[in-house]
């Protein structure tokens, strides 16, 4: 019965969009090819599974909340990811941090990790037809006491250089084994609560570290590099070594991707606007889809104005094949599997809305100089029946439609809360 209603409302939506020149079937075909990268660290509050959990204080990270049922092992984390992926339409990717290796209960220093510690992740991803992305973990460690790649102690700095080098090699192994390029992203928390003695000295050390790390090149069909900038963080309010300007210049010079996190800029800055400024110079970009509330708070992603602007900019510039989208938030105050599902579904639904915009009509009005009609049709598009198209997408992709997925997540959450205590 529900399938019949979905098909009926979808047929009506196809007709309405068709009147405006939008080919809905082509839109759904494009959306079905989108591979979002789900961040594993939402499942355990950025804890990781090293023998000794790192201390996140001073790293620019803050996870709030005590919702029961947090994943305590790799098996539990993977089960939670399976539960989230079951209610998300489409086939996607999983994004790992280096501290989520399969270390077998042993302490493995971060500069000694290798692909063998992630073999079970490769097997898990291969079984499900998923790609894997990767991140060096340059926080939550005693050797990060005065920074990582900018550390004043040469031995500590060399340790972090070796760690990132190891992570890039692991990324290459992911790409080779799974047949899809692994995107390795580098973010470091290095900064100062107050103004340092010399900003330049810190950035010169970072530059030297990066040059050493990226001296080795990998084939892009196996792995791709990106570097992630930030404006400020907790404990680094006055200075961040890896600022937007620094990494913009470095990435452009060294032909890597630049990562723009939606929470890493001033609240009045628009990541959507930055895309069109960068795309003429970068073949590809990475965007970390997050939601900052007053600051870089990493709230669960929802369908809001900032996300809508981002997706519309990607679609209007016809660069969906050049902008990689990865989720990056963490919230321990609510069902963690639900947080994955809410954010990922919101990102996909917002992208669908952007793909359904009557772009050709709006562009024609602009070319004719009719700015009133351009604005008016953008507003009219908000009332078009895109929800009916979203329901059909979920149905075709084997994902629950409407609020059914919420009950599934709640039932799973109750189960794991009882089992995990």
Has residue 160 got a pLDDT over 80? yes
**Which CATH number fits the domain that encloses residue 83?**
3.20.20.150
- Domain-ending residue, one of 355, 371, 398: 355
* Residues 236 and 370 both lie in one domain: no
* Residues 223 and 105 both lie in one domain: yes
| pTM, two decimal places | 0.97
* Residues 127 and 237 both lie in one domain: yes
How far apart are the C-alpha atoms of 171 and 169, rounded to whole Å?
5
* Residues 15 and 76 both lie in one domain: no
How far apart are the C-alpha atoms of 251 and 255, rounded to whole Å?
6
Tokens of 86: 């079951």
User: Band of the pLDDT at 122, cuts 50, 70, 90?
Assistant: very high
* Residues 109 and 242 both lie in one domain: yes
* Residues 12 and 51 both lie in one domain: no
Which amino acids are annotated catalytic?
187, 228, 230, 261, 264, 288, 296, 298, 328
CB count, 10 Å around CB of 55? 12
Residue whose C-alpha is closest to residue 44's, from 340, 342, 327: 340
Percent of the chain surpassing pLDDT 70: 98
* Residues 59 and 133 both lie in one domain: yes
Q: What is the mean pLDDT of the chain?
A: 96
The domain in which residue 126 lies consists of: 34-355
**Taking a C-beta distance cutoff of 8 angstroms, is the pair 31, 352 a contact?**
yes
- Domain-ending residue, one of 328, 355, 382: 355
**What is the count of structural domains for the chain?**
2
CA atoms within 13 A on the CB side of 169: 16
- Domain-ending residue, one of 316, 336, 355: 355
Q: Averaged over 244-258, what is the pLDDT?
A: 98
* Residues 307 and 381 both lie in one domain: no
User: Band of the pLDDT at 62, cuts 50, 70, 90?
Assistant: confident
User: pLDDT tens digits for 346-396?
Assistant: 999 999 999 999 999 999 999 999 999 999 999 999 999 999 999 999 999
Q: Averaged over 145-164, what is the pLDDT?
A: 98
pLDDT of residue 56: 59
* Residues 1 and 47 both lie in one domain: no
Percent of the chain surpassing pLDDT 90: 94
């Amino acid at each position: 019965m529900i399938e019949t209603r979905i098909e009926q409302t979808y047929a009506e939506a196809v007709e309405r969009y068709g009147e405006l020149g939008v080919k809905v079937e082509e839109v759904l075909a494009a959306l079905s090819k989108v591979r979002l990268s789900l961040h594993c660290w939402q499942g355990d509050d950025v804890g990781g599974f090293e023998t000794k959990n790192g201390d996140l204080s001073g790293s620019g990270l803050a996870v709030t909340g005590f919702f029961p049922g947090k994943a305590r092992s790799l098996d539990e984390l993977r089960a939670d990811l399976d539960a989230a992926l079951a209610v998300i339409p489409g086939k996607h990717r999983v994004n790992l941090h280096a501290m989520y290796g399969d270390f077998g209960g042993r302490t493995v220093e971060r500069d000694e990790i290798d692909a063998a510690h992630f073999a079970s992740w490769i097997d898990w991803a291969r079984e499900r037809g998923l790609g894997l992305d990767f991140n060096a973990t340059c926080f939550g460690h005693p050797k990060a006491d005065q920074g990582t790649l900018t550390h004043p102690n040469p031995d500590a700095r060399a340790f972090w250089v070796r760690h990132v080098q190891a992570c890039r090699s692991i990324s290459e192994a992911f790409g080779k084994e799974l047949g899809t390029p692994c995107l390795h992203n580098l973010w470091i928390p290095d900064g100062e609560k107050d103004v340092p003695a010399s900003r330049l000295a810190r950035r010169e050390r970072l530059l030297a570290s990066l040059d050493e790390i990226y001296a080795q090149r990998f084939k892009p069909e196996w792995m791709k590099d990106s570097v992630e900038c930030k404006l400020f963080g907790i404990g680094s309010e006055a200075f961040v070594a890896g600022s937007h300007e620094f990494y913009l210049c470095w990435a452009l010079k060294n032909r890597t991707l630049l990562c723009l996190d939606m929470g890493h800029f001033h609240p009045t800055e628009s990541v959507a606007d930055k895309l069109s400024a960068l795309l003429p110079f970068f073949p590809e970009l990475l965007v970390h889809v997050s939601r900052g509330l007053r600051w870089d708070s990493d709230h669960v992603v929802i369908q809001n104005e900032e996300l809508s602007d981002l997706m519309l900019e990607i679609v209007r510039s016809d660069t969906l094949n050049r902008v990689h989208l990865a989720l990056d938030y963490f919230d321990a105050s609510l069902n963690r599997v639900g947080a994955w599902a809410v954010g990922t579904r919101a990102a996909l639904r917002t992208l669908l809305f952007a793909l359904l915009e009557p772009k050709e009509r709006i562009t024609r009005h602009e070319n004719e100089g009719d700015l009133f009609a351009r604005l008016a049709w953008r507003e009219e598009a908000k009332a078009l029946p895109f929800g009916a198209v979203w329901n059909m997408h979920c149905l075709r992709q084997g994902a629950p439609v409407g609020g059914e997925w919420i009950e599934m997540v709640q039932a799973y959450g109750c189960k794991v809360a009882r089992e995990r205590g």
